[in-house]
Amino acid sequence: MDIFRRILFLRHPVEEGGQSVPWFSDLHIRLPIIFSLVVISILWIAVLIKTRGQSDPIPLHFNAFYGVEFVGSGFLFFQIPFIGTILAAINSWLSRRIFLYDLFLSRFIAWATFAVAVLLGIAVIAILLLNR
């Protein structure tokens, strides 16, 4: 019976000293979530500064072989930080839900959120360098 409870995540919540530990008090969850929110905020600011709320066409994809492959409206540039915001919200929610049952997986999801934010930041930097 215990194996089925572990498979279905029906174990008891993570406890320290007999009491439940709050989700955001864990340093390995708090730091990556805060760092990812900072990176995503910087993405939003960079995109707002670059586009200035205009829909002028800008190059959005560059290939070394073909050159500029995709030119689109400046508003398409907002998709990158929007996707980052949505993914950070979903991953934070999942991390919080899973924290009660599996500490390692919860921390892994939190650090994965930060990794995705950094990758999206690299994408924004590449597009900003392309549009100098």
* Per-residue pLDDT reduced to its tens digit, 24-58: 777 888 899 999 999 999 999 998 888 776 777 77
Total count of domains within the chain? 1
In a domain, 52, yes or no: yes
At residue 12, the pLDDT reads: 47
In a domain, 16, yes or no: no
At residue 83, the pLDDT reads: 94
In a domain, 2, yes or no: no
In a domain, 76, yes or no: yes
Q: Give every residue of the chain whose pLDDT is below 50, as ranges.
A: 1, 5, 7-13
Distances from the Cα of 12 to the Cαs of 44, 61, 98, 108, in angstroms?
40, 48, 12, 20
At residue 19, the pLDDT reads: 54
> How far apart (Å, rounded) are the C-alpha atoms in residues 103 and 96?
10
At residue 108, the pLDDT reads: 92
At residue 17, the pLDDT reads: 55
At residue 1, the pLDDT reads: 46
In a domain, 123, yes or no: yes
Give start and end residues of each alpha helix (H) in the chain. Answer: 2-7, 27-51, 79-99, 103-130
Domain limits at 108? 31-130
In a domain, 10, yes or no: no
In a domain, 9, yes or no: no
In a domain, 8, yes or no: no
> How far apart (Å, rounded) are the C-alpha atoms in residues 106 and 56?
42
